[in-house]
Structure 1
Amino acid sequence: MTRSADVVVIGGGQAGLAAGYHLRRLGVEHVILDAQAAPGGAWQHTWDSLRLFSPPQYSSLPGRLMPAQPGETYPDARHVVEYLADYEKRYELPVERGVWVDAVHRDGTHLRVESEAGDWRARTVISATGTWTRPFIPAVPGRREFSGRQLHTVQYKSPVEFAGRRVIVVGGGNSGAQVAADLASVAEVTWATQRPPRYLADDIDGRALFDAATARRQALDAGSTDTGGVASLGDIVAVPPVRAARDAGLLHAKPMFTRLTRTGAEWADGTLAEADAVIWCTGFRPALAHFASLRLRGTRGHIATVGTRAVDDPRLHLLGYGDWTGPASATLIGVGRPARDAAREIASLLS
């Protein structure tokens, strides 16, 4: 059975809900297809100790401030999941759950969204699938030789299972620092980073990051000098657990190793470290396999966009994948503005 909608939003996490909010306000008929069985997007799958980088009032979707979490300056992932579930219910957003979208095809003047639950015929499509389902692990020599456990950030849950073990944490960004800090008091941690860790000043959090990303986008759009954006400030937000581990002398970064061995890792100077596990905190790639048949992706896997709109097909919008689809659009507070712009542009196109 094929159903129809003016707009099909693929993904019901924070970006998909922000899109739904603005489409609903504009009176645009839409449906949100989400592969998850429950509300909360990727937040329901993060590690237990994860904290936001910003206070709740600076971590909110359009129209609804995130309430404070009692006893916490920076809310945890469970609180975010509860907020997203409430947001979806409050605005009566038309989310269909457990629907995995396999592909999007051109179908004359429409687009056909192919899913396990049947097909949808849409005039426009917003892709808001994020990156969590596409973890990236670099092709480090010896990866297949290592006999211990290897896992990515998406599989890490808690330090309990690593108590007393030797663990190499790879990655100098926020997830690497947070996981290393999480493990530091219970495991023998080796933290490997491509360059020395760059902590943001302790008083800087997600508010400043959003402002920096926005200023960079405005400068680029105006043809001015690149301000450097978030990267100019540093790589790691010193949230309380990271700050505590750092100040206690528990976070010591080593340069990136050159290869894994059967029992650990080896550095360029011949130094060896034994390990029971390697945790790859090495980032993600955009989850865009459903667009494969449209042949829109460039050499780096990105689809060329103007704002959120695909350059080669104005019926497609991409939302929440990072700065290339809107300043800080992969964050809760940052996705609201590009979601609004996408909804307005789609409403204009449909009219």
Structure 2
Amino acid sequence: MSKVVDTIVIGGGQAGLASGYHLQKAGLDFMILEAGDQPAGAWPQYYDSLKLFSPARYSSLPGFAFPKDSNEYPLRDEVISYLRVYAEKFKLPLMLNSKVERVEAVNGGFDIITFNGKRYRSKSIISASGSFHRPYIPNLPGTESFQGNLLHSSEYKRPEPFREQRVIVVGRGNSGVQIAVELADYATVSLAVQHPVKFTRQRFLGLDLHFWLKMTGVDTFPFYRIGKEPPSPISVFDLGGYRKKIHNGNPNQKQMFSGFYPEGVIWANGDREPADSVIFATGYRPNIPFHQTGALAMDGRPLHVAGVSTEVPGLYYVGLANQRSFASATIRGVGADAKYVVQNITRFLRKP
């Protein structure tokens, strides 16, 4: 059995690293358990062309600015490099290849057991494991009968394998639009949506939208203080001329299909259309399968207020969507949430 540390952080991506920064500043004894072989979370598994929707000046973790022109939008591989450098810069105590199998509440603390057989002990836990490994695909009629290629956007890497296919992308968010537009240069693509895609201008009065979100305080407004969750975003940032391409029908936008038949999909008006591949860009659910502590609702959602568990003393979260604000699950937002959580941990550890 390892020594008992103040805090163990589960997950070494952006949320875990931001947590480590603030734990270090608070002088706490901690370690970060990361399932992968580098401190980059799920970023290496995202599609190759992924681009952040916030410019570099608004895409940094605490204590270290993103090393890119402040008005440029970082690419996936640049984010991966940044996270690796961040972990090295602050000499964060990372344990790589340490995927957590289960967590047990024991004698006022926690036992954390990894799949490689290691056991750790801590007084508190920050769950920062993100949601990438729990993709959500709606259960539609006939799904099991579909003989084509059905996948989630988390499995999509690049457009070339879909060349000359008939592809349907489901979802009206940023990722769905970006994937559909990229694929449309290689395949015949429809974007299946419940409601037409709405676009938001990226710049107002010459300044990026995120400047105005930060200036007004909307981006990080703590909605939990007024007993509400931040409303889900319903518009897409128009990077790369997305609005023009969809307006021109490449890809075309169609009312969401009602189900599948073996060769394809059944559209809302009853028409049947063959499809080679269907890609669901339909989001994720919190990836917290390891808590054996009574901390989760029946559907697997963590029960918390602003990242502090309402069920288990000493259990905290960083990186959940809408945890405290619009920005909570983003690289620009996890720092503020991590700071808040570490302040709560510090008070918790000082209790007699």
Q: TM-score if structure 2 supplies the norm length?
A: 0.91
**Which amino acid is 2:111 matched to?**
R
The equivalent residue for 2:218 is 212
Greater shift after overlay, 239-248 or 95-104?
239-248
| Structure 2 equivalent of residue 189 of structure 1 | 189
SS at match of 1:236: strand
Q: Which residue of 1 aligns with 2:171?
A: 171
Measure, in 2, the Cα distance between the counterparts of 1:205 and 1:32.
Answer: 34
- Cα distance, 1:221 vs. partner? 1.6
Matched, 1:136 2:140: no
Q: For 1:214, what is the secondary structure of its paired residue?
A: coil
> In 1, Cα distance between the equivalents of 2:338 and 2:327?
12
> How far did residue 272 of structure 1 move?
1.9
Separation in structure 1 between the aligned mates of residue 285 and residue 226 of structure 2, nearest angstrom: 28
Q: Which residue of 1 aligns with 2:309?
A: 310
The offset of 1:249, in angstroms, is 4.0
* Aligned residue in 1 for 2:263: 263
- Asked whether the 8 Å contact 2:32–2:93 carries over to 1, the reply is yes
Give the 3-state SS of the residue equivalent to 1:68 in structure 2: coil
Q: Residue 54 of structure 1 aligns to which amino acid in structure 2?
A: S
The answer as to whether partners of 1:308 and 1:326 remain within 8 angstroms in 2 is no
1:221 matched residue in structure 2? 225
- Give the corresponding residue for 1:80: 79
Query: How many aligned residue pairs are there?
Result: 343
In structure 2, relative to structure 1, the CA distance for the partners of 1:206 and 1:254 (3 Å cut) is: farther
CA offsets, 1:75-119, max 9 Å, x none?
Answer: 110000000000000000001100010111111121111112411
Map residues 7-156 of structure 1 onto 2, 5 A cutoff: 7-68=7-68, 73-117=72-116, 118-156=118-156
**Is the contact made by 2:110 and 2:122 (CA closer than 8 Å) also made in structure 1?**
yes
Give the match for residue 343 of structure 1: 342
Question: How far apart are the structure 2 equivalents of 1:338 and 1:183?
Answer: 35
Partners in 1 of 2:237 and 2:212 — Cα distance? Answer: 10
Q: Which is further off, 321-330 or 266-275?
A: 321-330
Greater CA drift, 19-28 or 113-122: 113-122
Worse-superposed segment, 303-312 or 163-172: 303-312
Task: Say if 1:120 and 1:88 are closer, same or farther in 2 by CA, change over 3 A.
Answer: same
**Matched residue SS, 1:23:** helix
CA distance in 1, matches of 2:105, 2:172: 41
CA contact (8 A) 2:14 2:83 kept: yes
Distance 1:289 1:325, change over 3 A: farther
Task: Point out the structure with the larger helix share.
Answer: 1
| Alignment deviations for residues 46-70 of structure 1 (CA, whole Å, 9 cap, x no partner) | 1111100011110100011101169
255 and 276 in structure 1: CA distance in 2 versus 1, 3 angstrom threshold = same
SS at match of 1:105: strand
Distance 1:35 1:52 in 2: 24
Say if 2:230 and 2:326, in contact at 8 Å, map to a contact too. no
- Tell me by how many angstroms 1:156 deviates: 0.4
TM-fit CA distance, 1:270: 1.7
How far apart are 1:297 and its partner, in Å?
A: 1.5
The change in CA–CA distance for 1:173 and 1:327 in structure 2 (over 3 A counts) is closer
Q: Measure, in 1, the Cα distance between the counterparts of 2:283 and 2:106.
A: 35
Query: Structure 1 stretches of 5 or more lacking a match?
Result: none
Q: Which runs of 5+ in 2 are unaligned?
A: none
- Distance in 1 between the 2:77 and 2:332 partners? 17
Percent sequence identity is: 35
Question: Structure 1 residue 13: deviation in Å?
Answer: 0.2
Could you tell me which residue of structure 2 aligns to residue 198 of structure 1?
198
| Residues 139 and 209 of structure 1, relative CA distance in 2, 3 Å threshold | farther
Distance 1:327 1:171, change over 3 A: closer
- Shift in CA distance, 222/228, structure 1 to aligned 2, threshold 3 Å: closer
Give CA-to-partner distance per residue, 1:27-64, whole Å, 9 cap, x none: 10000000011221111111111100011110100011
Output one character per residue of 1:137-184: Cα deviation in whole Å (capped at 9) or x when no partner.
Answer: 110111111111111111101111111111011111111101101101
Check conservation: 2:40, 2:84, Cα contact below 8 A.
Answer: yes
2:61 partner letter = L
Write out per-residue CA displacement over residues 282-312 of structure 1, whole angstroms, 9 at most, x where no aligned residue. Answer: 1100001111x21222245322212211011
- Give 1:252 shift: 2.3
